[in-house]
Amino acid sequence: MISLKDINKVYRTKTVETLALNNISLNVPKGEFLSIMGPSGCGKSTLLNIIGLIDEPSGGQVSIDGQNISNYNSKAIARFRNEKLGFIFQSFHLISDLSVIDNVELPLIYRKVGAKQRREMAEEALTQVGLKNRMRHFPSQLSGGQKQRVAIARAIVGKPSIILADEPTGNLDSVMGNEVMDILLNLNNNSGTTIVMVTHDESMARKTNRLVRLFDGSQVQ
Amino acid sequence: MIKHIIKLIWNKKKSNFLMFLEIFFSFLILFAVFTFVVSNLRMYQSPLGFDTEDMWLAHLSFPSELDSATVADTKLRLVRELNAKPEIISVGFTNSITPFSGSTWVTSNDDNGFDLQTWVVEADEHYGPTAGVNIVEGRWFNEEDALGKYPAVVFNRKLWEEYFDEQPVLDSIYKLNGKENIVVGIVENYKYRSEFEEEYPTTLFHKPVHDAGLASLHIRLQPGTSVQFEEEVNQTIAGITKRSDFIIENLDEKRKDNSRSTWIPMITLLSICLFLILNVALGLFGVLWYNISKRRSEIGLRRALGATADNISFQFISEIMLVTIAGILAGSFFTLQFPLMKLLEVENIDYYYAMGLSALIITVLVLVCAFYPSRQAAGINPAIALHED
Ligand SMILES: Nc1ncnc2c1ncn2[C@@H]1O[C@H](COP(=O)(O)OP(=O)(O)OP(=O)(O)O)[C@@H](O)[C@H]1O
Ligand SMILES: [Mg+2]
């Protein structure tokens, strides 16, 4: 599905040069639930962004279904993100000026799905995360756990084959964190969605198929 | 996409309202200024109907104690001696309603079976050719007109159009100014008050050259006659009339002086407008810039969800354009009342031009101001923007 080969990522600011990723090679097969762990600043988010094609590596190769993505132009990459990937972030990233249902519809807008079908798909996704009754609310009227479930609904509304989650439970207490984790496990089990999740929580990581540990930009396990 | 953007604008109506107001008021102010400028420029376009270059004008006076034979003798001598000078092409007389003098005389009656209102000028048989009026029908006055049964009149086209629908009027008799008159000709224009005036229905009444009532002397010079010649004319007139209480004016200078009183406020208003526009532009630019920097994480998110760079700049330009259109529409609702209710003495077409021009300038301004910030928004790196909070 997605494979990384010899990935390096260097951040250059005026004063310092940070090697965020150092020679990472990783293969994420279809249907796998993979978790990434490591201390703060070790490059987990950077790695996830590269897998998610929202950041470019400084060196190495990213391939999707065996195709090198350097062959893709930016439009094709945007389209790939839209159709194949779903993102979940630690800080939810809901648009505060849009209602819950409009937030969930967002990926479908860029897919040019018609308004009526958009609404139906968004309602279905919200039902899946148990929030259909809150669809007219605005993000500010929701709890943290509810916000993250909206974000999950937004990530799954387009039926992506891969979900990339960056500390999806990081801002939630353990009860809400477990709820979110259960939704992700269900998705992986029932729909066969590939999931790559960054987490700090060993217990969450243990529920996944495979664990990758990073330390200072290098893969240690 | 557009529906989505409208929803976004609506949900942010509070912050968009200020922008809306700014557009709305800018539109109203531009409309007011452009109405003034456009209507003046349109009037300026229509010709005066007589020449001002190489024309001099002297306001003489013939005291009432002089008998008419003496006045006639004096005037005829003046005409003869002035015409004899090689620098002078011709001379003619009018009453004191001379171009750019500020005086007017209006008369109205319903003696002809309909209401008729006309501005009045009296002129002799030499004035028409001297001033270079443009005859479109019939002829200018001649000496025989004084011998005819009815005094002769010449209409301007405006009067002919407005009251006679351009039907034949030559040799017809109409009662004007309390007397019956015969129409001998029609001139294209006679807009003697100002270049920035409407043409009004005007009638030129004939009086013979020796009539004491015509004391304003119009002199047409050879092109390029120097100002020194004025002294000679001055002496000739003073010698014949035995008076020195007159001045000779350059008609073209008078025209320019007269127009200046409109050009100056017009240019002042336009300059103020330009500053206003620059201010609005800077304000808009600042607001857009600020909005985009506040919405970096939204931009990052949209990119992650599959928006292309073009989608992002389209979104930002559309948002601001929709608010702009709303402001212009709201403004148009108010400004449309002016032509619909005829609130001022301005032609409707001027209002529509002013509205169109204001809308165009505001739209272009907003597009220009939105272009760079929205390109900037499109260029935001999603990984960095998402990382920021
Ligand atoms: N835009 C950037 N410019 C410069 N340096 C960056 C940038 N983004 C990340 N870094 C650096 O790269 C390294 C890896 O960052 P990254 O965000 O991937 O860490 P992380 O493992 O996700 O940490 P955390 O667990 O705290 O989220 C860090 O040292 C960070 O300071
Ligand atoms: Mg991180």
Q: Does the beta carbon of A110 lie inside 6 Å of ligand 1?
A: no
| Cα gap B369→B282, rounded to integer Å | 8
Report CA Rg, chain A: 17
Q: Does the beta carbon of B387 lie inside 6 Å of ligand 1?
A: yes
Q: Does the beta carbon of A61 lie inside 6 Å of ligand 1?
A: no
Q: Does the beta carbon of B384 lie inside 6 Å of ligand 1?
A: yes
Of B3, B8, B306, the CB nearest to A81: B306
* Nearest chain A residue to B310, by CA: A75
| Cα gap B24→A86, rounded to integer Å | 42
- Total domains in chain A come to 1
Is residue B216 over pLDDT 90?
Answer: yes
Flag whether residue A75 sits within 8 Å of chain B, measured between CB atoms: yes
Of ligand 1's listed atoms, the one at least distance from the Cα of A43 is 18
- In this structure, what CATH number is given to the domain that contains residue A84? 3.40.50.300
Is residue A46 over pLDDT 90?
Answer: yes
| Cα gap B292→B289, rounded to integer Å | 5
Question: From the CB of residue B248, how many other CB atoms can be counted at a distance below 10 Å?
Answer: 16
What separation in Å is there between the alpha carbon of A128 and the centre of ligand 1?
Answer: 33
Of ligand 1's listed atoms, the one at least distance from the Cα of A44 is 21
Find, among A193, A142, A192, the residue nearest to A165 by Cα.
A193
Residue with tokens 């001139």: B187
What's the whole-model pTM score?
A: 0.83
Q: Does the beta carbon of A192 lie inside 6 Å of ligand 1?
A: no
Q: Going by CA atoms, what residue is nearest to atom 20 of ligand 1?
A: A41
Question: Which site among A80, A96, A110 would you substitute to test the B interface, given the most B Cβ atoms closer than 10 Å to its Cβ?
Answer: A110
pLDDT tens figures, A56-77: 999 999 987 778 888 889 899 9
Of ligand 1's listed atoms, the one at least distance from the Cα of A214 is 21
Is residue B389 over pLDDT 70?
Answer: no
SS3 content of chain B, % helix, strand, coil (to 5): 55, 15, 30
CA atoms within 13 A on the CB side of A79: 7
pLDDT tens figures, B295-313: 999 999 999 999 999 999 9
Beta strands, E only, B79-178: 88-94, 106-109, 116-123, 135-138, 152-156, 173-176
**Signed CA dihedral, B127, B128, B129, B131: sign only:** positive
CB B362 within 8 A of CB B27: yes
Cβ within 8 Å of residue A137, ≥6 positions away: A99, A100
Query: What are the structure tokens assigned to B382, written together?
Result: 């999603």
pLDDT of residue B208: 92
The residues facing A137 across adjacent strands are none
CB B99 within 8 A of CB B48: yes
Query: What are the structure tokens assigned to A212, written together?
Result: 């990758």
Minimum-distance ligand to the CA of B381? 1
Q: Does the beta carbon of A18 lie inside 6 Å of ligand 1?
A: yes
Distance of CA A35 to the CA centre of its chain: 11
CB B120 within 8 A of CB B107: yes
pLDDT tens figures, B342-375: 888 888 999 999 999 999 999 999 999 999 999 9
DSSP 8-state symbol, A210: E
For A34, phi and psi rounded to 5 degrees? -110, 135
Query: What are the structure tokens assigned to A95, written together?
Result: 């648009």
What separation in Å is there between the alpha carbon of A45 and the centre of ligand 2?
Answer: 4
- Is A93 in contact with B305 (Cβ distance < 8 A)? no
Write out chain A residues lying below 8 Å of B291, CB-based. Answer: none
Instruction: Give, for ligand 1, the residue of B387, B388, B389 to mutate: max count of ligand atoms closer than 8 Å to Cβ.
Output: B387
Per-residue pLDDT band at B82 (split at 50, 70, 90): very high
The residues facing B182 across adjacent strands are B152, B173
ipTM score for this prediction: 0.93
- Is B305 in contact with A81 (Cβ distance < 8 A)? yes
Query: What are the structure tokens assigned to A53, written together?
Result: 């094609």
| Cα gap B370→B316, rounded to integer Å | 8
CB B116 within 8 A of CB B108: yes
The residues facing A108 across adjacent strands are none
pLDDT tens figures, B28-79: 999 999 999 999 999 999 999 999 999 999 999 888 788 888 889 999 999 9
| Cα gap B235→A49, rounded to integer Å | 98
| Cα gap B203→B187, rounded to integer Å | 10
Q: Between these two residues, B345 and A146, which has the higher pLDDT value?
A: A146
| Cα gap B79→B72, rounded to integer Å | 11
Q: Does the beta carbon of A190 lie inside 6 Å of ligand 1?
A: no
| Cα gap B186→B156, rounded to integer Å | 5
pLDDT tens figures, B12-24: 888 899 999 999 9
What separation in Å is there between the alpha carbon of A47 and the centre of ligand 1?
Answer: 10
Return the number of CB contacts < 8 Å for A and B.
Answer: 67
DSSP 8-state symbol, B218: E
Task: Please compute the mean of the pLDDT values over residues A31-57 and round it to a whole number.
Answer: 93
Task: Please compute the mean of the pLDDT values over residues B273-279 and round it to a whole number.
Answer: 91
Distance of CA B5 to the CA centre of its chain: 43
A149 lies in which domain range? 2-219
Q: Give Cα separations from A146 to B99, B147, B303 (angstroms).
A: 82, 105, 23
Task: Please compute the mean of the pLDDT values over residues B226-253 and round it to a whole number.
Answer: 91
Average pLDDT, chain B: 92
| Cα gap A103→A101, rounded to integer Å | 5
Distance of CA B293 to the CA centre of its chain: 47
